[in-house]
Every structure is written in structure tokens, then in C-alpha cells.
Amino acid sequence: MTLYMVGLGLSDEKDISLRGLETVKNCDLVYLESYTSKLQCSVSDLEELYGKKIILADRELVEKRAEEIISNAKDKDVAFLVIGDPMCATTHVDIFMRAKEKGINVNVIHNTSIISAIGVIGLEVYKYGKITSIPFLNENIKAPVEVYGMNKRDGLHTLFLLDLDPINGKFMGIKEAVEYLISNNADENVMAIGCARIGTNDAVIRVDSLKNLVNYEYGGAPYCIVIPGKMHFMEEDALKLWKE
């Protein structure tokens, strides 16, 4: 039997690939990893399309009881659904490795990730440096600005992911992230891009100085911010599309 790690993409229930959909329909158990991103549809929308009951796997289930998911795959076909791409999150690579070590068949069905879809803003994806996350509890946290400093030195673009706690309906907004960056000495006048719900039909992308990003309406989560590194003139032209 097999553990299928299936990417759901970034939008609603219809973003799953045909291969993913066929697989989920044939699985005995279907888990949804529900804590690293935000679905743009309800769990019941997924259940209706798949014709399956979904077991919500929060951080505790995935990180502490991953063995339960893995051992079920010894004698059942198990789907582990992940918003975005299943391999674009460290915890999921861990499940993949642990299942393989136990001799369980693992099959990954990829999908769009924020890490690929961010290409839509017009900065070349292969010119990004290290990705960094701004956590909710960030009073003494310097890693995001240190990563930005390194990327900047190398002329690379920086993608800032913003913390979220979907189970409790908490999502760090653009304003909070901008405040964190400016209070940690990022130049408030540097050009930056504020993004919401990339990959959906109502994605919002705004280009302005870092401090002015807070002046726009972004709608619902999830959000991220990009600060460009050294730009080719075609990248500069592309960003003009998102200026108001």
C-alpha cells in the first residue's frame, strides 16, 4: 500500500491535478495538513469533490503522531493532502523520509507552491536568495533581517513568508510584517511588493516603498512580501504592472 503526498495548489478545491484527484478518490484514508497554509475553500468543498471524509491533521498530529499516518499506509492507501506543494515545507520532507525508512511506498503528486507562483510578480524566480519567515513572536528575532541582508549583499530577491495559525484564524498581515522589518532597520524607502492570495482569481499584488505597502487593502490571507535585489530592466518593467 502507499502513502500519497498530494499537493492541492494555492486556490480552491479545483486546483488539485487530475492525477491527484484520481488518487484521492481511490484512497482508504485522507488526511489534510491544515496548519501551514490557508485553503481558499472549505473542507466540505474538498470532501464533496473527492467523495471522501477528510481527517484534519493539525501540527500536533503531523509532527508528533506522524507515525500514525505512516503506519496506516502499511496496509491502506493513505492520502496526505498539503496546500501548495507537499515538498515545499520541511515537516513534510520529514514524513517522506520516515515513511521511506519504514519501507513504505511513497508517491508524491506535486502542485503549485507559493515558491513557484511568486514568479507572477515578474521577478525572475531563479534570482531569489534564501527564503525567510517572519514569526508572530518576533521581538528578539533577527533571522529574517539577517537573511535579507545576505540576499541584498548578493543582489538576490528576498521572499518573506508571514506567520500563520489557521486553526485559530490568525494570519500575520502586511502591516505587521512591514512594522517588524522597519523596526529592525530595513530601509523604509526600499521598493517592496505586498502580496495576498497569489494563485487565486482575486490575488492582490502591490508595489511601493516598504513603508507605503501598509496603505493598501489586501483582503484575506495568506500574505507575503518580496524585496527585490538587483533587477534586470525587464523585471523593473514587470513590476510597473502592479503600481497603482
Kindly report the CA angle at 196 between 194 and 201, in degrees rounded to 5? 130
The upper half-sphere exposure of residue 35, i.e. CA atoms within 13 Å in the direction of its Cβ, equals 14
Nearest CA among 67, 63, 65 for reference residue 36: 63
| Number of residues in contact with ligand SAM under rule CB under 6 A | 22
Residue 84 or residue 122: which is nearer to ligand SAM going by CB? 84
Residue 14 or residue 153: which is nearer to ligand SAM going by CB? 14
Q: Is 62 in the site for ligand SAM (CB under 6 A)?
A: no
> How far, in Å, CA of 124 to CA of 230, rounded?
11
Q: Is 147 in the site for ligand SAM (CB under 6 A)?
A: no
Binding mask 186-205 for ligand SAM (x = CB under 6 A): ---------xxxxx------
Binding-site member from 39, 89, 205, 226 for ligand SAM (CB under 6 A): 89
Q: Is 110 in the site for ligand SAM (CB under 6 A)?
A: no
> How far, in Å, CA of 157 to CA of 124, rounded?
9
Place of cell 540576499: 151
Omega before residue 222 within 30° of 0, cis: yes
**Residue 31 CB, nearest approach to ligand SAM (Å):** 14
The upper half-sphere exposure of residue 118, i.e. CA atoms within 13 Å in the direction of its Cβ, equals 25
Residue 155 or residue 219: which is nearer to ligand SAM going by CB? 219
**Residue 66 CB, nearest approach to ligand SAM (Å):** 16
Three-state secondary structure call for residue 175: helix
Positions that interact with ligand SAM (CB under 6 A): 10, 36-37, 82-85, 88-89, 113-114, 161-162, 164, 195-199, 222-224
